[in-house]
Amino acid sequence: MPKDFLRRYLPTPSKLRENPALRPVRKWLQDPEIWHLHRRAVAGAAFIGLFCAFLPIPFQMLVAAVLAVTLRCNLPIAAALVWVTNPVTIAPMFYFAYRLGVWLLGSGEVVSSIELDLDWLLANFDELAYPLLFGSLVCGWVTGLTAYALVHVSWRLHVISRWRERRERRLLAKQNRG
């Protein structure tokens, strides 16, 4: 994973520390480890961000940020990946998580029709909650582990490719001199 590409799109630590909204947590933003772009920090941030994206709770980004700071993973990447869950994707993601939860728990589908209404949601919350939570945790875990593994593998392949390029350049320079 090229660092330059990530640095181009991520905010700088100093810019985030200057943000007035983040003033209460400024002391936790001082840890340089949560800003580094290395394989462990980015892979952990990918896991945290995508796992938290599947949590059926408000303030997913806050949970991801707390986990990233606690586990010393890249904070901006963890917070940004939570936005996989957005107004366009939230309904299909949570519907899939609910259906997966129903299937994994072996319970019959309790709700026959779904309405996009707060009253309906509150009336059916007891039937929806456990399968949705279980399915969301499974989806988040699988998606997070997949992202973690993909970042590790792609980062390693990128490093190997760069080593080979350097070795070939050195060999070519040695042949041109000799």
| DSSP code per residue over 70-119 | HHT--HHHHHHHGGGS-TTTHHHHHHHHHHHHHHHHTPPP--S-----HH
The answer, yes or no, to whether residue 1 has pLDDT greater than 70, is: no
pLDDT of residue 108: 72
Q: How many Cα neighbours within 13 Å face the side chain of 15? A: 6
What secondary structure letter does DSSP report for 32? G
pLDDT tens-digit readout, 25-54: 666 676 778 888 889 999 999 999 999 999
Decide: residue 168, CB within 10 A, 0-12 exposed, 13-18 middle, 19+ buried: exposed
| pLDDT number for residue 129 | 85
Top-confidence residue, 19 or 86: 86
Residue percentage of the chain with pLDDT more than 90 = 46
Q: What is the mean pLDDT of the chain?
A: 85
* DSSP one-letter string for 46-75: HHHHHHHHT--SS-HHHHHHHHHHHHT--H
For range 127-150, the mean pLDDT:
93
DSSP state at residue 38: S
| pLDDT for the residue numbered 142 | 97
Secondary-structure breakdown of the chain: helix, strand, coil percentages, each rounded to the nearest 5: 80, 0, 20
pLDDT, tens only, 55-95 = 998 899 999 999 999 999 998 899 999 999 988 998 899 88
139 vs 13, more confident: 139
pLDDT at residue number 146: 97
pLDDT at residue 125, rounded to an integer: 78
Domain positions in the chain:
3-92+142-177
Higher pLDDT pick, 137 / 36: 137
For residue 178, what pLDDT is reported?
65
Q: Is the pLDDT of residue 135 over 80?
A: yes
Tens-place pLDDT, residues 87-133: 899 889 988 998 899 899 887 766 667 777 778 777 777 788 889 89
